[in-house]
Chain A
Amino acid sequence: MNAGHIGMVSSTDLLRIEGLGISFAIIGGPIRAVKHASLRVLPGKVTALVGESGSGKSVISQAVMGILPHTAHIHGRILFSDPAKPGTTVDILRMPRDGREIRTLRGSRIGKIFQEPMTSLSPLHTIGNQVSEVLQIHTDEPAAERKARTEEMLGLVGFPDPKRAYDMYPFELSGGMRQRAMIAMALICRPALLIADEPTTALDVTIQAQILQLLRELQAKLNMAMLLITHDLGVVANIADEVVVIYHGEIMEAGPVEAIFRRPGHPYLKGLMAAVPHFDLKPGERLAAIREVPVNVENLLGKRKAAQSKSPEVLLSVRDLTKTFTTRKSDWLGKEHKTVIRAVDGVSFDIKRGECLGLVGESGCGKTTVSKILMRAVTSDGGSVVLKDEAGSIDVLSAEGAALHHLRTKIQMVFQDPVSSLSPRMTVQNILSEPLEIHGRGDARSRLATVKNLMQAIGLDQRSIKRYPHSFSGGQRQRIGIARALALRPDLLICDEPVSALDVSVQAQILNLLKDLQKELGLTYLFISHNLAVVDYMADRIAVMCRGRIVELAPREILLRKPIHPYTRSLVAAVPFPDLDRPMDFKMLNLSGATNTRAWGPQFRDEGEDDALTPLDLGGGHIVLARKTSDIRDLRPC
């Protein structure tokens, strides 16, 4: 495509949605998912469609591809002007459902990538089969040619060995690599428009940065337009040219990214921006949740002695925790390959009473295994965990019988997924009183009173006590999960990614609730997350985990402002800011890549020897994992 040609078509919109309305016919009357929405995508530009779950943004993207379910009723116009055929504009909504016309657009002129790289690929077909299938549908190329082009594309999206990747199955790849395969599949026919539906939401923050970088590079290289659907304003600020904000199926605001971020007009957009945790929050500053939950723990506190008065002593002390998993894999000749994975490798930390320790790391780094060991759901291979309470100290790893029963009341957990962590067959009352019944606290009447107080504490109406979890929203369910964890009045609450599955506005609400409860009840938190900004908002001290080891541990101001370990630095660099003046530093990311330990400085590498690395104390509670012999001054980045 020559430059003059591009100049000519860029005067018209590539995709123009006019007065789009989508409703779903269900029992009890139609649901209007999208109301009179209009937006445009310019050729070669990125339009971001921003909204929370249920706002109708994904439904719009499905309508563009013509892949809405049968029950959807659509009116309006979706006009697509293919730059490859200048001067022709087609209305996608006028095309017969799944007909030849729309099918020649799909995959060939409009590509799509989805949120869940785990489920978007068929587990039974190889990557090469699924990617080259697009060519098979849309071109007449011979098989050898298709294979060559597929391998070329796989190389382009960053597979180190495309020939090998061609014959691999999706389940043999990590989430990031699967998303790359999806991108290869969407782009192999060089479409004019790429629809990316939350392409990085399910990925780790460093992988997200890589995928965003890849998308931006490919978008420029192939000169394609992109409709990016996301809820993450940080992603939007880094990649979009135009922004459209959607709320409850209605477009609230639309315009160039500059105007939207510098001068947000609509209150919803302003609220959304204030609800995102970012590194510039001052200590003690609160997020502005769009719907704040009032915390009322007066009744709950009634019987509890105030915990705040205690001096900061160590509540939980973890030393040299190790856990290895062995995976066996046998090939066709029956030879077994044993791989030992050190999920947790010499982890040590203390949690002081009343503080919040953040544990950050990417998926697979062992942070959840640590939490499971603390909960005694997984047995560790070695190390010690000691919990101190009024009666003395409990050896967490070896407690049995009555001691274990007692320990269960001391440590409780809040889970990531608010849907599957509550039984759908139990009412809120059953859920909240079950821990009390197990531990024989009180009689039926006092338990009911406690349940009511718990509901009050998390800001839920007491009238909903007989309702089942499905009738609550995600945020409300997570609050019920928190109340259940509080029922036994534990000392330590382990929060394992408690807000990862929630929308931004609800996330702020839950974080504020957790903060308030901590203050009022004097709770101690171990807060596990992959999101540095969230941990920064919650934690007093932060530990960074990588490959089963804690690589850096420091008070939050130090860890985020002056990180020393290259892994921490790449994590910090990978967080997209919802701020136009602070674009992501892709160069920095590549230099100290999270997955590439060879890019780390020599003082941080162990070169395969055991015990080469040791935690070095830099003073002020700042600990870094480095070589024993290295000088503290050498560690500081230049």
Chain B
Amino acid sequence: MLRYIIWRIAVMIPTLLIISALVFTIIELPPGDYFDSYIAELRAQGESVDSERIQSLRKEYGFDKPPVLRYFYWVGGMLQGDFGYSFEYELPVRDVIGDRMWLTILVSFVTIIFTWIIAFPIGMYSATHQYSWGDYGLTLLGLLGLAIPNFMLALILMYFANIWFGTSIGHLMDQKYLSQPMSWDKAKSILEHIWIPVVIIGTGGTASMIRRLRANLLDELHKQYVTTARAKGLGPFRTLIKYPLRMSLNFFISDIGSILPAIISGAEITAIVLSLETTGPMLIKALQSQDMYLAGSFLMFLAFLTVIGVLISDLALALLDPRIRLQGGSTK
């Protein structure tokens, strides 16, 4: 098992290297670079272009070198904590992202917790009361949550918040705290704002999780070992928690790997609508303007989260399921 963990962590290194190569290639794929789109933008606005300045900038940032070399510069820089330079903002990428990274992680984390807290009781109720009115009602609500796009929900909530409370619910905190260091007031302000994006982003995930938990639990509820537990005299609720629920957790844990990047990338449009200070809107903008180091860093960040998530879910599965822990590696 220990060897398994070490091996899994070791395997992450080549995985991330391959992903970085892919990310770099994809960013390089569109014709031209940031400066080309910069020139085009200037021309479109009718301004003159100082082509010598552009050439010197190109040279300074190594854009005259072959792509392979630039790739190694980029990867080497990332290993030392230097993510490159954002042309759009004319700042190092690290400073541009700054707080946004932590705010994104915070929003995602709270959203996941919110999803679980809501989805678990409802999924359990739906499975144990299959085809009851409660099941149908919750299923309907869940389907609504699945079907309504997040940004739409965001717009609706914003509208009603404005009409009923007369407040704007955009942003993650009061604007005056934006570039300030962390303080109690800032934390309070974040907490006041965070529930709205969490509810909006979490709705879709909650609905689909309820559906899957219900389906998995229904499969398990008819298994023989549940009858065994009942025949022991175990109460219905404790039976449910100890046996079928535990069995149906496997799907859910193997899902952690994909849940992190899905929430972060899926929440971008919502983030734009609500003007959240997360990384999503910035990524979209960076991709549009071919601000390659910024975009590449974001994509690498997503990839890293995915790889970490998969690692966590694999280890959690092995811990939770003795069959995986004790039988792993046996071949026939």
Please report A residues at the B interface, Cβ cutoff 8 Å: 65, 67, 98, 103-108, 111-112, 114, 116, 119-125, 133-134, 137-138, 169, 171-172, 182, 185-186, 325-334, 336
Q: Out of A112, A125, A172, which one reaches B231, CB within 8 Å?
A: A112
Q: Is there contact, CB below 8 Å, between B230 and A98?
A: yes
Q: Check if B326 is an interface residue, CB within 8 A of chain A.
A: yes
Instruction: Determine the distance from Cα of A98 to Cα of B243 in the docked complex, in whole angstroms.
Output: 17
Q: Check if B65 is an interface residue, CB within 8 A of chain A.
A: no
Q: Is there contact, CB below 8 Å, between B233 and A134?
A: yes
Q: Is there contact, CB below 8 Å, between A327 and B330?
A: yes
Q: Is there contact, CB below 8 Å, between B332 and A105?
A: no
Task: Note all chain B residues with C-beta closer than 8 A to A333.
Answer: 2-3
Task: Note all chain B residues with C-beta closer than 8 A to A111.
Answer: 231
Q: Out of A108, A121, A330, which one reaches B329, CB within 8 Å?
A: A330
Residue of A nearest to B237 (CB): A98
3 tightest Cβ-Cβ pairs between the two chains A and B: A334-B3, A107-B233, A106-B233
Residue of A nearest to B222 (CB): A69
Residue of B nearest to A66 (CB): B230
Task: Note all chain B residues with C-beta closer than 8 A to A326.
Answer: 331
Task: Note all chain B residues with C-beta closer than 8 A to A185.
Answer: 228, 232
Q: Is there contact, CB below 8 Å, between B3 and A137?
A: no
Q: Check if B53 is an interface residue, CB within 8 A of chain A.
A: no
Q: Is there contact, CB below 8 Å, between B236 and A98?
A: yes
Q: Out of A106, A325, A334, which one reaches B230, CB within 8 Å?
A: A106
Q: Taking A171-B327, A328-B331, A333-B2 as contacts, is the C-beta distance between A124 and B233 under 8 angstroms?
A: no
Q: Check if B246 is an interface residue, CB within 8 A of chain A.
A: yes
Task: Note all chain B residues with C-beta closer than 8 A to A329.
Answer: 326-327, 329-330
Task: Note all chain B residues with C-beta closer than 8 A to A65.
Answer: 230-231
Further pairs besides A122-B246, A124-B321: 15, Cβ < 8 Å:
A67-B231, A103-B234, A106-B233, A107-B234, A121-B228, A122-B225, A122-B229, A123-B247, A124-B246, A124-B323, A169-B322, A171-B327, A172-B326, A182-B228, A330-B329
Task: Note all chain B residues with C-beta closer than 8 A to A107.
Answer: 231-234
Q: Is there contact, CB below 8 Å, between B247 and A332?
A: no
Q: Is there contact, CB below 8 Å, between A67 and B230?
A: yes
Q: Is the interface of A mostly helix, strand, loop or mixed?
A: mixed
Q: Check if B160 is an interface residue, CB within 8 A of chain A.
A: no
Interface digits, B304-322 against A, CB 8 Å rule (1 contact, 0 not)? 0000000000000000111
Task: Note all chain B residues with C-beta closer than 8 A to A169.
Answer: 322-323, 326
Q: Is there contact, CB below 8 Å, between A106 and B232?
A: yes
Task: Note all chain A residues with C-beta closer than 8 A to B3.
Answer: 330, 333-334
Q: Is there contact, CB below 8 Å, between B4 and A334?
A: yes
Task: Note all chain B residues with C-beta closer than 8 A to A325.
Answer: 332
Q: Is there contact, CB below 8 Å, between A137 and B224?
A: no
Q: Is there contact, CB below 8 Å, between A119 and B2?
A: no
Distance in Å from the Cβ of B243 to the closest Cβ of chain A?
5
Q: Is there contact, CB below 8 Å, between A104 and B228?
A: no
Please report B residues at the A interface, Cβ cutoff 8 Å: 1-4, 223-225, 227-236, 242-243, 246-247, 320-323, 326-332
Q: Is there contact, CB below 8 Å, between B332 and A121?
A: no
Instruction: Determine the distance from Cα of A124 to Cα of B253 in the docked complex, in whole angstroms.
Output: 15
Q: Is there contact, CB below 8 Å, between A103 and B329?
A: no
Distance in Å from the Cβ of A111 to the closest Cβ of chain B?
8
**A–B complex contacts, Cβ < 8 Å, 8 sampled:** A105-B233, A106-B230, A112-B231, A122-B225, A124-B320, A124-B321, A169-B323, A332-B2
Task: Note all chain B residues with C-beta closer than 8 A to A133.
Answer: 232, 234
Interface centre among A120, A121, A186 (most CB of B within 10 A): A120
Instruction: Determine the distance from Cα of A255 to Cα of B223 in the docked complex, in whole angstroms.
Output: 35
Residue of B nearest to A126 (CB): B322
Q: Taking A120-B225, A332-B2 as contacts, is the C-beta distance between A103 and B235 under 8 angstroms?
A: yes
Q: Is there contact, CB below 8 Å, between A137 and B234?
A: yes
Instruction: Determine the distance from Cα of A141 to Cα of B246 in the docked complex, in whole angstroms.
Output: 26
Distance in Å from the Cβ of B234 to the closest Cβ of chain A?
6
Instruction: Determine the distance from Cα of A125 to Cα of B241 in the docked complex, in whole angstroms.
Output: 13
Instruction: Determine the distance from Cα of A330 to Cα of B235 in the docked complex, in whole angstroms.
Output: 38
Residue of B nearest to A171 (CB): B323
Task: Note all chain A residues with C-beta closer than 8 A to B332.
Answer: 325, 327
Instruction: Determine the distance from Cα of A107 to Cα of B234 in the docked complex, in whole angstroms.
Output: 9
Instruction: Determine the distance from Cα of A336 to Cα of B331 in the docked complex, in whole angstroms.
Output: 12
Instruction: Determine the distance from Cα of A178 to Cα of B221 in the docked complex, in whole angstroms.
Output: 21
Instruction: Determine the distance from Cα of A182 to Cα of B323 in the docked complex, in whole angstroms.
Output: 19
Instruction: Determine the distance from Cα of A527 to Cα of B327 in the docked complex, in whole angstroms.
Output: 33
Task: Note all chain A residues with C-beta closer than 8 A to B327.
Answer: 171, 329
Distance in Å from the Cβ of A529 to the closest Cβ of chain B?
24
Task: Note all chain B residues with C-beta closer than 8 A to A106.
Answer: 230-233
Residue of A nearest to B320 (CB): A124
Instruction: Determine the distance from Cα of A501 to Cα of B157 in the docked complex, in whole angstroms.
Output: 60
Instruction: Determine the distance from Cα of A171 to Cα of B323 in the docked complex, in whole angstroms.
Output: 7
Distance in Å from the Cβ of B248 to the closest Cβ of chain A?
11
Q: Is there contact, CB below 8 Å, between B228 and A134?
A: no
Q: Is there contact, CB below 8 Å, between B232 and A334?
A: no
Q: Is there contact, CB below 8 Å, between A121 and B225?
A: yes
Q: Is there contact, CB below 8 Å, between B233 and A332?
A: no
Residue of A nearest to B239 (CB): A98
Task: Note all chain B residues with C-beta closer than 8 A to A336.
Answer: 329
Instruction: Determine the distance from Cα of A327 to Cα of B328 in the docked complex, in whole angstroms.
Output: 11
Instruction: Determine the distance from Cα of A138 to Cα of B232 in the docked complex, in whole angstroms.
Output: 9
Distance in Å from the Cβ of B232 to the closest Cβ of chain A?
4
Residue of B nearest to A133 (CB): B232
Residue of A nearest to B226 (CB): A122
Instruction: Determine the distance from Cα of A217 to Cα of B226 in the docked complex, in whole angstroms.
Output: 28
Task: Note all chain A residues with C-beta closer than 8 A to B232.
Answer: 106-107, 133-134, 137, 185
Instruction: Determine the distance from Cα of A327 to Cα of B227 in the docked complex, in whole angstroms.
Output: 33
Distance in Å from the Cβ of B236 to the closest Cβ of chain A?
5
Task: Note all chain A residues with C-beta closer than 8 A to B4.
Answer: 330, 334
Task: Note all chain A residues with C-beta closer than 8 A to B229.
Answer: 122
Q: Out of A116, A124, A328, A332, which one reaches B224, CB within 8 Å?
A: A116
Interface centre among A124, A134, A169, A172 (most CB of B within 10 A): A124
Residue of B nearest to A67 (CB): B230
Q: Is there contact, CB below 8 Å, between B1 and A334?
A: yes
Instruction: Determine the distance from Cα of A329 to Cα of B326 in the docked complex, in whole angstroms.
Output: 8
Q: Out of A121, A138, A182, A334, which one reaches B233, CB within 8 Å?
A: A138
Task: Note all chain A residues with C-beta closer than 8 A to B233.
Answer: 103-108, 134, 137-138
Task: Note all chain B residues with C-beta closer than 8 A to A114.
Answer: 224, 227-228
Task: Note all chain A residues with C-beta closer than 8 A to B230.
Answer: 65, 67, 98, 106
Distance in Å from the Cβ of A141 to the closest Cβ of chain B?
15
Task: Note all chain B residues with C-beta closer than 8 A to A98.
Answer: 230, 235-236
Residue of B nearest to A106 (CB): B233
Instruction: Determine the distance from Cα of A172 to Cα of B322 in the docked complex, in whole angstroms.
Output: 10
Instruction: Determine the distance from Cα of A112 to Cα of B223 in the docked complex, in whole angstroms.
Output: 16
Instruction: Determine the distance from Cα of A108 to Cα of B230 in the docked complex, in whole angstroms.
Output: 12
Q: Is there contact, CB below 8 Å, between B243 and A122?
A: yes
Distance in Å from the Cβ of B285 to the closest Cβ of chain A?
47
Task: Note all chain A residues with C-beta closer than 8 A to B326.
Answer: 169, 171-172, 329
Interface centre among B1, B4, B231 (most CB of A within 10 A): B231
Q: Is there contact, CB below 8 Å, between A124 and B247?
A: yes
Instruction: Determine the distance from Cα of A124 to Cα of B331 in the docked complex, in whole angstroms.
Output: 21
Residue of B nearest to A327 (CB): B330
Interface centre among B3, B232, B327 (most CB of A within 10 A): B232
Residue of A nearest to B247 (CB): A124
Q: Is there contact, CB below 8 Å, between B223 and A119?
A: yes
Distance in Å from the Cβ of A342 to the closest Cβ of chain B?
14
Instruction: Determine the distance from Cα of A104 to Cα of B229 in the docked complex, in whole angstroms.
Output: 13
Q: Taking A124-B321, A327-B331 as contacts, is the C-beta distance between A332 and B1 under 8 angstroms?
A: yes
Residue of B nearest to A339 (CB): B330
Interface centre among B4, B224, B246 (most CB of A within 10 A): B224
Task: Note all chain B residues with C-beta closer than 8 A to A330.
Answer: 1, 3-4, 328-329
Distance in Å from the Cβ of A537 to the closest Cβ of chain B?
32
Residue of B nearest to A122 (CB): B225
Residue of B nearest to A109 (CB): B233
Task: Note all chain B residues with C-beta closer than 8 A to A182.
Answer: 228
Instruction: Determine the distance from Cα of A98 to Cα of B231 in the docked complex, in whole angstroms.
Output: 10
Task: Note all chain B residues with C-beta closer than 8 A to A116.
Answer: 224
Task: Note all chain B residues with C-beta closer than 8 A to A122.
Answer: 225, 228-229, 243, 246-247
